[in-house]
């Protein structure tokens, strides 16, 4: 969906968007809106649990910030596109919604999920969290591991996954992907 959104931003090709892109944006929004849940213990925020973001060293985590932010971006766009198509392409919009099994309640769910998306942030550290678990994992001194002859890539996953080590910098990638969402200080 992100690629389709960026394609449309670059080309402004509404004909392509309404005839091709919208279907995938809507169908994937429908999928993502049902992949998460509003969790009471997180203040009824929309949480997406048991995922692996870009950093495959941290699989099966809750609320990966990259995943949640990209989902929020996607759901906001899908909601806005549905509103726009309802006004500008009434027949096309109605046919597409009917074919995809999307009703007003579904579209409202996209908005509610996007507006209430859980994005982990630690006030004390002043950082966006990679996920709910990362800071609670075992700290690791990479230089000490090197001295002992360990190479992280060769560690068994059950050992590797318990450490505060990242193969890909999820939050840095997120800030490059959605730079307007983050302050320069952050």
Active site residues: 56
Q: How far apart are alpha carbons 35 and 37 in whole angstroms?
A: 7
Taken in order 130, 166, 176, 76, is the CA torsion positive or negative? negative
Q: How far is CA 137 from the centre of its chain?
A: 22
Give the DSSP letter of residue 131: S
SS3 of residue 39 by DSSP? strand
Cα 45 to Cα 13, 28, 40, 109: the distances in Å are 35, 20, 7, 13
Q: How far apart are alpha carbons 109 and 37 in whole angstroms?
A: 11
Task: Check if the beta carbon of residue 155 is closer than 8 Å to that of residue 147.
Answer: no
Task: Check if the beta carbon of residue 171 is closer than 8 Å to that of residue 66.
Answer: yes
């Amino acid at each position: 969906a992100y690629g389709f959104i960026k394609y449309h931003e670059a080309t402004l090709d509404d004909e392509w968007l309404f005839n091709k892109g919208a279907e995938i944006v809507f169908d994937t929004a429908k999928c993502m809106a049902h992949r998460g849940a509003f969790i009471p213990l997180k203040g009824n925020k929309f949480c997406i649990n048991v995922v692996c973001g870009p950093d495959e060293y941290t699989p099966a985590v809750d609320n990966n910030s990259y995943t949640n932010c990209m989902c929020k971006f996607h759901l906001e766009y899908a909601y806005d596109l549905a509103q726009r198509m309802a006004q500008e392409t009434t027949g096309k919009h109605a046919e597409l919604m009917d074919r995809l099994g999307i009703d007003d309640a579904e579209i409202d769910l996209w908005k509610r999920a996007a507006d209430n998306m859980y994005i982990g942030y630690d006030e004390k550290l002043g950082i966006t969290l990679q996920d709910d678990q990362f800071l609670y994992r075992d700290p690791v001194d990479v230089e000490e591991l090197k001295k002992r002859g360990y190479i992280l890539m060769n560690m068994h996953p059950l050992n590797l996954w318990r450490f505060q080590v990242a193969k890909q910098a999820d939050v840095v990638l997120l800030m490059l992907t959605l730079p307007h969402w983050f302050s320069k200080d952050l």
